[in-house]
C-alpha cells in the first residue's frame, strides 16, 4: 500500500501545525516488539538474490514506513509491482522483493524478531 502525503487526511490544521493521519494502515496483530529502522539504498540494489532461501524466496516480514528520498519498487509473490517515492507512506506486506530505482533513504517500522531473521539471512548471504 502506497499513500502520497497529499492523499493523507488532514485531521488538524492550525497556524504552525498540520496533522495528517492515515487510518487502517495495516495490522500488527500477532507481532510482539517493533523496530525502527533507517535504510540508505543505492540505485540498482535488488534483493532477489539476498532473499533466496527464505520462504518463497521473499521477505516474509511486513514493514510500514516513509520514503525520505528516492524511489523503490516492490514485487509481490504474484508479480505485482508498486513504486514508492519521496514523501510516500508505505506498507509492504510479508512476501515481497525490493528493487531500488533511484538512490533512496527510508524510515521503516517492522516486527523486530521477524525482520531480524531476514536481516541475519541477508548478512549470511553477503558474508558467505
pLDDT in tens, 69-101: 999 999 999 999 999 999 999 999 999 999 999
8 pLDDT band (50/70/90 cuts)?
A: confident
Element (H, E) at 90: strand 88-92
Region 31-60: mean pLDDT is 92
DSSP line for 24-85 = S----TT---EEEEEEEE-TT-B-TTTTBTBGGGSB---EEEEEEEEEEEEEETT--EEEEE
Would you state the pLDDT for residue 15?
85
Amino acid at each position: 500500500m502506497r499513500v502520497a502525503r497529499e492523499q493523507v487526511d488532514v485531521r488538524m490544521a492550525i497556524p504552525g501545525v498540520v496533522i495528517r493521519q492515515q487510518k487502517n494502515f495495516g495490522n500488527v496483530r500477532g507481532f510482539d516488539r517493533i523496530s525502527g529502522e533507517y535504510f540508505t539504498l543505492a540505485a540498482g540494489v535488488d534483493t532477489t538474490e539476498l532473499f533466496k532461501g527464505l520462504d518463497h524466496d521473499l521477505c516474509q516480514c511486513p514493514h510500514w514506513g516513509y520514503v525520505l528520498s528516492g524511489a523503490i519498487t516492490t514485487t509481490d509473490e504474484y508479480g505485482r509491482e508498486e513504486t514508492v517515492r519521496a514523501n510516500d507512506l508505505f506498507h509492504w506486506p510479508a512476501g515481497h522483493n525490493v528493487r531500488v530505482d533511484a538512490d533512496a533513504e527510508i524510515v521503516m517500522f517492522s516486527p523486530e524478531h521477524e525482520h531480524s531473521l531476514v536481516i541475519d539471512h541477508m548478512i549470511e548471504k553477503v558474508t558467505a
